Amino acid sequence: MVVETIKESLSVNKLVATKAEVILVEGDMIVPDAKPDILNTICTSGVVCIYKKEIIDGKVRIDGNINTYIMYMAEDQNDKVRGLTTNLDFSENIQIANINEEMNCKVNTRLKSIETKVINGRKIGIKAAVEIEVKVYSNETIAIVNNIPNAEGIQTLQENLSVNSLVGIGDNKIFAKDTIGIKTEDNLAEILKVNVNICNKDVKLSYNKILTKADAEIKIMYLTEDNRIENVVTRVPVVGFIDIADVTENNICEVDYEIKNIVLKPNSVEEHSIYVEIEVGVIATVYEEKEISLIQDLYSPVENLELNQRKISTMREKRVNSDMIQIREKVTLENIGDRSIIDVDVIPRIEKEHKKDNRIIYEGELELNFILSNSELQVETRTAKIPFDYSRDNIEDIENLETCMEIQVVNQDFIVQEGGVVTCNVDLEMTMNSYRSSNLNVIDEIQTNGEREEEDYSIVMYIVKKGDSLWKIAKAFGSTVEDIARTNGIEDESMIITGQKLFIPHYTRIPSTSHV
């Protein structure tokens, strides 16, 4: 006979798989007829765009491209430095076992390296290495037993927990558009280099709606018609709404941004401006802090109970913490002569993570890619690296903490001194997303299957073994935790020790009560 139960629902967003791969994207570019022949390339940069992702049984398919910018030295001495722009398309299948279309995924990408090889004066080979990290999640709504009405004689092991229950997942595409002005004395000839970075992320929650706010920081290096190299930096607002039912301002929201496409169009020379359009995908995952009372186990001293139960994993204590760190170091660039810095790409990376003694330590590295030029527009590149570390202290139960660190370059400044010594001032925002995993024993259904065989004793002595608890002992003997504690004068039911002698009283049968 099925025992009547009362249940409540819990929505679980479970991370089922994480996989990181480095893919190679290769292609050739033919120099347009309007451009001079290539003597050699100076530097190459790119922005990775993911315009489509989908889960097919056993794999994640990712389609995207790399907006590639090549600065090169021309054979024509009148055109010393020139620029080329192209797109490298790619399609990749990331094999992950036991995933299906019902799941959802998040994809993070980073351009690890990009290289060019001059095949001849009119053709360039391009090879890029892209780091792709895929996280796959499954969503499931689970009914958990939290009460058994009319359960006379049934012993329950109840636990009160605070968990993160999934409220919902939503997404939106935002088109951020702007016209970037350059100096009025600059007549733009061509674009040499582009960097795009999503920064200043913020989120506001209200009833059934999420407002996501961020800036797309765009840095453009361009060549003027009188052969000067200049930079312009601007921030374009990326603002949008996502509708998710039952969202409130008290919920926890995790927002991910994906650059899907970039369009740059220089306007007429007289306008001294560049039109920019960026397509950004925004994904919001919302959780609530939910207090649940969960029956982890049960038994009856007088009846045989059959349980359908399973293990599930859920999140708890989901947090987002941010800190600012300042890096103040000096590096030496040998033999730079009269060259000055015209641009620096700052690439922060976490190399190692250590968890020890309630402390997390991150060991990282700043990769600095300098572009240098002199008055004669002779351009060259240099690379330097600066190690750094960051830690968070006083973290309890650190071994069960799952973390993900995001690093944002907030400010950067570089001053060249005598002898090629460069003072580097870099401010980083360190954002740590963390949560703990809880394994729960969920009971789906309870049935009675006749009376439990009565033990022929009134009291028995038991010696506590390693791993025992009063609950386990009471369940094994068909007694109750309360009776054992009372008989042995135990005030704290959690305090028993290996080797301790306990007297186990016999549970007195009462007339069987049917449970429906």
Per-residue pLDDT in tens (0 to 9) along the chain, 516 residues: 777 888 888 899 988 999 999 999 999 999 999 899 999 999 999 999 999 999 998 999 999 999 999 999 998 766 689 999 999 999 999 999 999 999 999 999 999 999 999 999 999 999 999 999 999 999 988 888 888 887 677 888 888 889 999 999 999 999 999 999 999 999 999 999 999 999 999 999 999 999 999 999 999 999 999 889 999 999 999 999 999 999 999 999 999 999 999 999 999 988 999 999 999 999 999 999 999 888 888 888 888 888 888 888 888 999 888 999 999 999 999 888 888 999 999 999 999 999 888 899 999 999 999 999 887 778 889 999 999 999 999 888 888 888 989 999 999 999 998 888 999 999 999 999 999 888 888 888 888 877 766 665 678 899 999 999 999 999 988 889 999 999 999 999 889 999 999 999 876 554 444 333
Superfamily of 455-516 according to CATH: LysM domain (3.10.350.10)
The b-or-e profile of 212-241 (16+ CB within 10 A means b, else e) is: bebbbbbebbbbbeeebbbebebebebebe
pLDDT value, residue 511: 45
Comma-separated ranges of CATH 3.10.350.10 domains in the chain? 455-516
What's the burial of 364, exposed, middle or buried (CB within 10 Å: 0-12/13-18/19+)? Answer: buried
- Maximum distance among all alpha carbons in the chain? 106
pLDDT value, residue 311: 86
The Cα–Cα gap between 176 and 80 comes to 34
**DSSP class of residue 302?**
S
- Short-list 97, 157, 467, 118, CA closest to 307: 157
pLDDT value, residue 515: 37
